[in-house]
Amino acid sequence: MTQASSGSADSRNFLGVAEARAAILDGLSPISGWERVAVRAALGRVLAEDVIAPYNVPAHDNSAMDGYAVRAQDLAASTETSLAIVGTAFAGRPFSGIVGAGQAVRIMTGASIPQGADTVVVQEVARREHDRVFIPTGQKKGQNLRRAGEDLAQGGVALAAGTRCGPAELGLIASLGIAEAAVRRPLRVAFFSTGDEIASIGRPLGPGEVYDSNRYTLFGALSRLGCELLDMGVVPDRPEALEAAFRDAALTADVVITSGGVSVGEADFIRQMMARLGEVAFWKLAIKPGRPMAFGRIGGAVLFGLPGNPVAVMVTFYQFVHDALLKLMGVSPLPPAERFPARADFSLRKQPGRTEYLRGRLQRAPGALSVALAGAQGSGVLSSMSEADCFVVLPEDCTAVQPGDTVLVQPFHGLM
């Protein structure tokens, strides 16, 4: 990848990605309010308090294998050992006796280790003859046991507050016998599209109109995050209509997200209105696509004014809004930005000074991962997002990419 020596975002009065992210995230703290919900309903929700293990998991030392529970001290070092089988231990049906000298108990996976025994010999290596079992040499004391508390220790933090519950967390909570979890209330997000030319689906397009797609991308992205949605439709570029929409949204929502109307040509009256309603900064971001963006507060709500172009909406959402919403939802720590190197299967020239987010498709190449560009890269070409499975992130100082160069990719997997 070719790099320019100068032309940083700062020197051109644009805000860099890292500065913008920091400016957004630093000022946000989690919403208050939580509720207790049944384990299943905790899926996708954020724990409001630590989940403490009420007892050990597993509760007892148990066998990791089907085999024979024995006493290590009985096993001869250099010859096969013959032991008397005195009973069987099943999972959920323990052997109630004590394993004495020269004795063994047939044991199944998950069964409690009988008193006296300290080692499990797998059935594949043992030879059984009637009520005796022959154990070869080479066994290690304590082998094939799962120790009590090895998964979760009694009194310990099984899951920390701030954890977002996925399938593993639901199972883990259930494994502790806990039926309900304390989770933060869902984040309430109001969103609308702006623009006189924006038409809602369900009616024919007038001359010069385009169908509203941003509200649908945002619906998808916000639903994935488990937000409570307030879809406010399309608002025309009229100051009174916009002001009413902003006031309305800020009244009930924690977050207001809009698209369109923040570029230089349109922003003036929005700027004045925002100054009346709250405190909002209009940024020129050093990114492509998605240069203009507004961020601030109106009333009690956090505002993100995203650009209008459909790809720019998705790029700014996933680079800035997504993690901000996680932080407001109480997710802690925030997941690290998932970026990894891949070999470029394309060539490209680029102006220095902006971080560029291309839409890419990952391919498994021999010994490496390679990435090709997914379709036309215009900021309005939504099909490139649909074809893509990752962003290719080119830093500000990059000026060209040649086939074979190493570039950083941010996979969509787990993000969208």
Would you tell me how many other CB atoms lie within 10 Å of the CB of residue 242? 21
| Structure tokens belonging to residue 224 | 């994935």
- Asked if 209 is part of the footprint of ligand AMP (rule: CB under 6 A), the reply reads no
Choose the binding region for ligand AMP from 170-178, 200-208, 260-268, 296-304 (rule: CB under 6 A). Answer: 260-268
To 10 degrees, what angle do helices 17-26 and 322-329 make? 20
- Asked if 289 is part of the footprint of ligand AMP (rule: CB under 6 A), the reply reads no
Nearest Cα residue to 413 out of 358, 360, 345: 360
Would you tell me how many other CB atoms lie within 10 Å of the CB of residue 36? 12
* Calpha distance 58→151 (Å, rounded): 7
| Structure tokens belonging to residue 270 | 């929005």
| 3-class DSSP assignment, residue 192 | strand
Would you tell me how many other CB atoms lie within 10 Å of the CB of residue 37? 15
Choose the binding region for Mg ion from 117-125, 148-156, 260-268, 355-363 (rule: CB under 5 A). Answer: 260-268
One of 30, 67, 94, 260 touching Mg ion (CB under 5 A): 260
One of 195, 278, 307, 353 touching Mg ion (CB under 5 A): 195
* Calpha distance 17→75 (Å, rounded): 65
Using CB under 6 A as the binding criterion, the count of chain residues that bind ligand AMP stands at 17
In this complex, which beta carbon is closest to Mg ion, that of residue 246 or of residue 391? Answer: 246
Minimum CB distance to ligand AMP, residue 186 (Å)? 24
One of 59, 174, 205, 210 touching ligand AMP (CB under 6 A): 210
- Asked if 193 is part of the footprint of ligand AMP (rule: CB under 6 A), the reply reads yes
> Could you tell which of ligand AMP, Mg ion, none binds residue 259, using a CB distance below 5 to 8 A set by kind?
ligand AMP
CA 206: distance to chain centroid? 40
Choose the binding region for ligand AMP from 77-85, 105-113, 192-200, 370-378 (rule: CB under 6 A). Answer: 192-200
In this complex, which beta carbon is closest to ligand AMP, that of residue 263 or of residue 332? Answer: 263
In this complex, which beta carbon is closest to Mg ion, that of residue 290 or of residue 308? Answer: 308
In this complex, which beta carbon is closest to Mg ion, that of residue 81 or of residue 214? Answer: 214
CB distance 404 to 378 below 8 Å: no
> Could you tell which of Mg ion, ligand AMP, none binds residue 307, using a CB distance below 5 to 8 A set by kind?
ligand AMP
Minimum CB distance to ligand AMP, residue 193 (Å)? 4
* Calpha distance 44→28 (Å, rounded): 21
Q: Are strands 398-401 and 348-349 parallel, antiparallel or unpaired?
A: antiparallel
Nearest Cα residue to 42 out of 158, 174, 223: 174
Minimum CB distance to ligand AMP, residue 391 (Å)? 19
Choose the binding region for Mg ion from 130-138, 173-181, 191-199, 208-216 (rule: CB under 5 A). Answer: 191-199
- Asked if 278 is part of the footprint of Mg ion (rule: CB under 5 A), the reply reads no
Choose the binding region for ligand AMP from 81-89, 306-314, 357-365, 388-396 (rule: CB under 6 A). Answer: 306-314
Q: Are strands 103-107 and 81-89 parallel, antiparallel or unpaired?
A: parallel
Q: How far is CA 212 from CA 193, 217, 266, in A?
A: 7, 10, 18
In this complex, which beta carbon is closest to Mg ion, that of residue 305 or of residue 308? Answer: 308
Nearest Cα residue to 214 out of 262, 248, 267: 262
In this complex, which beta carbon is closest to ligand AMP, that of residue 263 or of residue 363? Answer: 263
CB distance 99 to 86 below 8 Å: yes
Residues interacting with Mg ion, by CB under 5 A? 195, 260-261, 308
Residues interacting with ligand AMP, by CB under 6 A? 193, 195, 197-198, 210, 212-214, 259-261, 263, 266, 307-310
